[in-house]
Chain A
């Protein structure tokens, strides 16, 4: 009998297992899913910048020069949008985008090194939504006043401020809200039996807390109708903008703060309190990145009870929601299409809201075709940045084109013409991009559900 050579296996020094690039065979499946590779010839793609780059970064490669910011930049690592679609394509189930993020962090640090201290602190401000957003919220009265006095001047001033901050002056900030979400929540009449209701923590997200509280209000309204006691405890930015920019330290600080705040908030309750967010990027950051960034044992516990709002309404809240909202009850609100955000895809929930809306009588969505399934290009901060603006439109062009084709033909302004269809999407960045690029109205699907709950009351803004 000939001796058989037995393969030896030794554990990879990098743990946990899902963060080892060793399983990558270089099959390029991730590349086919990457919207940036498709849109920008400078981007070397998730295979090269992901597992392949990380292998060299982590383990070294005999005879290879050390990899640094220069190499990361020359391969276009700064262009990654962290949309996570590569993760969903990998036959080995590797978190490809996690590896690319390391390369992006290097590239961004390299870029920042070439800038002055003022530019660097402005960038820090912009990626820190906790500071930037609360600044925006605190100045909302001033901004509202400016818009009442002279919309033109206010707009010009806004463009200048955006420009100074390194953001694109072509973007339009959401109109300043009259009242913030927490103030609104404090002013609402609480359900009488609230003490007996099961609690749920609303992780509203910076967009709802600072810019557009409408989504947060709708989420509160629907969750209350489904019989929950909605808590809005202290919370900070989920860290997604920092993660997207490769600022891992900043994201880690946000994760640690949220871990502390959310753990505290559920301690006063009898059991673990579900944390529900209407923003898929927040949900993804809390569920996937928070445990990786903090490495605390209680982080896994917290991540395990973070829910996407749609998933929560379709899951635990579904039975009581069915009692509150009668199927086929509300008046149809007009034609709509649904855009599935990349980060919701990354969560693996599948599209949830279209089925819910249809079930509750809001009709079937329009079908803009497979082009609309792609990334809208915004990717949060990336599409707001001055140098990212044009690129975001290029990345998003197939999807945005598909939605544009849903719009009424120009000139169809006859009084009997049907209203423009609304594009519903869970993600505030997607809504922002689609609204600006197509001119179509947008909304979070939970806003439509909330309206369906009380069709008699016009929504207050």
Chain B
């Protein structure tokens, strides 16, 4: 016995692109269901949104970036987890430079409110950044990060490490974030940390204080505001290694808004495995529990190769690379005829992507990494070239492909832009489609 659920729009995948698509489609008035194994890689995401903003004709019509970013900023605010853009902050190049755990600054277009005051370009000359670590967080070695930042990026950074005591247990960021969510514990921290850091905080050269991104899942903004007030200078978070609390916050706040305010139903722990289509349109998809989800439009946001939304045949891919490097093939891109290389497993949609050129290429064009740039082939409207009501979003579209040296992995901005657009287009497509429940002549998917 299976359930047949009916939605206007069904989003497959609940990572960044899927969540943004669901929010956008629901915002456009569609009844939305999300089917996903889980929240994609949100638990691994630093929370920073990086990526170039240039227009890429086929995939991003003019103005889409700004509107997508505007939607993201508004929605984050409404969800209770505000983001800031480099443009709003009037930063050079509209870009944040934020200190990564490698000790090098990374660039971001958008940053969570908790990280936004941390642009490193303000910490030079006599202005020092005090980088506070917590001893129990083994994956956040403050002294190492500060030393690297001084040596590699020439930044004025000094480090202090504070112990959180036995309450921090085994030092999981998840445990530490919960401590910071408890108001009584935070009050005690505010008091004792202020005392321990008195020397550093009394120096006028200490321009700001950075902490690992563990200041609570629910109350980070309030906690940072109180620290900023108490210590008389900006206090902000920096990105850290997974498990990432900023990513987990994003999931917590956006999921809540989707479920409560936007009426979106999330079917988690489900893997979509097949579909039914007629006349070049998908009618419904079916999950591994044999439940079916009917909709007028679908968003495919299953994360590309990294997320399991594309599958790679390693031998076929290496063979193709081999043929390429030995000069037996001259194709730069591979299309339908080579579908077996990288396949989209739900709908069997055609994929496309680059094969790297000869063996003497520049760094960054490692043939074995080219899969990151592969994606589902879409038309100018962002829908699949074979199923007109399946809109593709996020990493499933592949990375940004430029000249071989510019081949880069997918980024969060791509997920936001394409997620937003796919959501809007799917909602429009659903509004324009009369639900058609005729079951004749349909061809069943694999």
Contact = CB atoms under 8 A, between A and B. Distances in A.
A274 interface: yes
A274 B253 CA distance: 36
B37 A304 contact: no
A355 interface: yes
A10 B315 CA distance: 15
B150 interface: no
B37 A32 contact: no
A123 B328 CA distance: 71
B268 to A, nearest CB: 4
Interface residues on B, range: 35 or more
A247 B439 CA distance: 47
B1 A1 contact: no
B261 interface: yes
B1 A274 contact: yes
Contacts of A461: none
Contact of B243 (A31, A44, A304, A397): A31
B152 interface: no
Interface in A77-111: 87-93
Chain A interface SS verdict (over half) = loop
Chain B interface SS verdict (over half) = mixed
A37 B270 contact: no
Interface string A262-305: 00000000001010000000000000000000000000000011
B3 interface: yes
Contacts of B3: 311, 315
Contact of A355 (B169, B172, B263): B263
B260 interface: yes
A91 B1 contact: no
Contacts of B243: 27-29, 31-32
Interface in A182-223: none
B341 to A, nearest CB: 14
B37 A38 contact: no
Given A7-B315, A370-B253, A398-B181, A41 B168 contact: yes
A351 interface: yes
A4 interface: yes
Contacts of A340: 259
Interface in B280-339: 289-290, 307-308, 314-315, 318-319, 322, 326, 328
A158 interface: no
A3 to B, nearest CB: 9
Contacts of B245: 32
B318 to A, nearest CB: 5
Interface in A1-32: 1-2, 4, 6-7, 27-29, 31-32
A345 B1 contact: no
B90 to A, nearest CB: 31
Interface string A393-411: 0000110000000000000
A234 interface: no
A307 B170 CA distance: 40
Interface of A: 1-2, 4, 6-7, 27-29, 31-34, 37-45, 87-93, 272, 274, 304-305, 307, 311, 315, 340, 345-352, 355, 365, 367, 369-371, 373, 397-398
8 contacts: A31-B172, A31-B174, A37-B174, A40-B169, A304-B1, A304-B290, A351-B259, A371-B218
Given A32-B247, A373-B252, 8 more contacts: A6-B315, A38-B217, A41-B167, A91-B307, A93-B271, A304-B1, A348-B269, A369-B218
